[in-house]
Amino acid sequence: MNKKIKKEYNDSGIEVIEPEKDKSAGPVMIVAMLLIIFVIIAVFGNTLYYTYLGSDEDQKIKEKEKIIEDILKTNPNNLTYSQINCLSTQFKFYGSEFCPHCQDQKKMLGKDISDVTYVDCDNYRALCEDLNIQAYPTNILFNKETGEMSRVLGGIPLNDILNYTKCYE
């Protein structure tokens, strides 16, 4: 390796010979700088993502709120926002598109309420098997005051659902 030699003279006039220092950045320096840049992007990138785009959970909440707002626009049962929100978490009914009793219950509840409470076991077979759904419609209701859960087979009037779940104002 040829290194340039830098010749200088000190105050006494004696020649001082020093190898000239390499002014280019070595591979280690380049890797270190790239690593620092990567860390900065990783830290601030997540911050920017969660600040401006939101998390998946935030997105799910926004989607649910949008669905409830749409329901309120065409609300045949005159339910309030809090009742619809409550029903979406305290009541689910499981059925099949081929079940006439399920279709009757969907009509009774109204299409919009069914959209947030109905689970089609043809599409969610594993979930329905895990919950031991053996007949349609199967309604699972949660009482938000007592924490009790009840399973009811067949159609249930909306007022009974609201009374059991305590989804009234």
Average pLDDT of every residue of the chain: 76
3-state helix, strand, coil in the chain (%, to 5): 50, 15, 35
Fold of 56-165: Glutaredoxin (3.40.30)
Torsion of CA 58, 69, 76, 136, to 10 degrees: -20
Domain ranges of the chain: 5-53, 56-165
Query: Residue type for 53, please?
Result: L
Instruction: Name the pTM for this structure.
Output: 0.55
Which pLDDT score, from 0 to 100, does residue 167 have?
83
Distances (CA, A) of 156 to 34, 66, 78, 83: 63, 26, 18, 17
Which pLDDT score, from 0 to 100, does residue 125 have?
92
What are the pLDDT digits (tens) for 55-108?
Answer: 566 776 677 677 666 666 666 677 777 887 888 888 899 999 999 999 898 888
Strand partners, 92: 140
CA atoms within 13 A on the CB side of 103: 4
Which pLDDT score, from 0 to 100, does residue 43 have?
63
